């Protein structure tokens, strides 16, 4: 039996990385015979971001009123996730990216059964390594890290392939009432935001019980 988890996320959302990290810990603690399958859906928090992204300091200063306040928000994220083992490196991040290419790469990886590995790699590349996930070469290199062919990934990203599919999936999310991420559906339960591991575990246990007793 397979328990499907639907994850709607964006690669510029630190809480999406936190939620995925905590979800993985909950899955490790789940004492059940059910198999877990994750399905990833795209969401762009900044759909109007220029294709090349923006200088992070400029963008964040404009969005939050000052660079100092932006840094306080970053520090709050780090403080709130001290026990999650995530090495946030905001000091290395120079660009706030347009995430369409990253979502397309995740979709491309999904055609080969590697969506989860690709999503996790992109999130970590951005938040813990400060990599610019707008650049095609960066994304192609990340693709090789999960076992995809770099040239195939590069050719795909340099084309228009996958753009309409991503747009359709994003519209589908909005039609379902999803207006923020992370949005995670486990069985019949929806979890919004980076909830504690215990919340994810309880949802997993409930969904697994429903599956096994149905």
- Domain extent, residue 190, equals 2-213
Identify the pLDDT of residue 32: 85
Count how many domains the chain has: 1
Residues 6+ apart with CB under 8 A from 163: 100, 104
Residue 85's nearest CA partner among 113, 55, 124 is 124
CATH number at residue 75: 3.40.30.10
Residue 22's nearest CA partner among 74, 80, 84 is 84
Task: Tell me the pLDDT tens digit for each residue of 14-64.
Answer: 999 999 999 999 999 998 889 999 999 999 999 999 999 999 999 999 999
Identify the pLDDT of residue 198: 98
pTM: 0.96
Mark the ranges of the chain whose per-residue pLDDT is less than 50. Answer: none
Check residue 12 and report its DSSP letter.
T
Identify the pLDDT of residue 40: 98
CA 190 centroid distance within chain:
16
- As to burial, measured by CB atoms within 10 angstroms (0-12 exposed, 13-18 middle, 19+ buried), residue 159 is exposed
């Amino acid at each position: 039996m397979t328990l499907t988890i639907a994850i709607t996320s964006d690669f510029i959302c630190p809480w999406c990385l936190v939620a995925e990290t905590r979800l993985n810990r909950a899955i490790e603690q789940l004492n059940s015979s059910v198999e877990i399958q994750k399905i990833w859906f795209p969401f762009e928090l900044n759909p109007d971001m220029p294709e090349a992204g923006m200088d992070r300091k400029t963008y964040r200063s404009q969005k939050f009123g000052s660079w100092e306040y932006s840094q306080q928000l970053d520090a709050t994220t780090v403080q709130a996730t001290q026990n999650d083992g995530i090495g946030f490196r905001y000091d290395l991040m120079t660009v706030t990216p347009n995430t369409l290419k990253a979502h397309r790469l995740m979709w491309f990886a999904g055609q080969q059964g590697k969506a989860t590995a690709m999503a996790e790699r992109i999130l970590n590349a951005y938040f813990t390594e400060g990599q610019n996930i707008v650049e095609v070469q960066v994304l192609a290199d990340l693709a090789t890290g999960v076992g995809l062919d770099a040239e195939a990934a590069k050719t795909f990203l340099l084309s228009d392939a996958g753009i309409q599919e991503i747009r359709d999936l994003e519209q589908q999310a909005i039609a379902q009432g999803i207006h923020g991420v992370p949005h995670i559906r486990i069985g019949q339960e929806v979890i919004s935001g980076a909830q504690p591991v215990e919340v994810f575990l309880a949802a997993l246990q409930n969904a697994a019980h429903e599956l096994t007793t149905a």
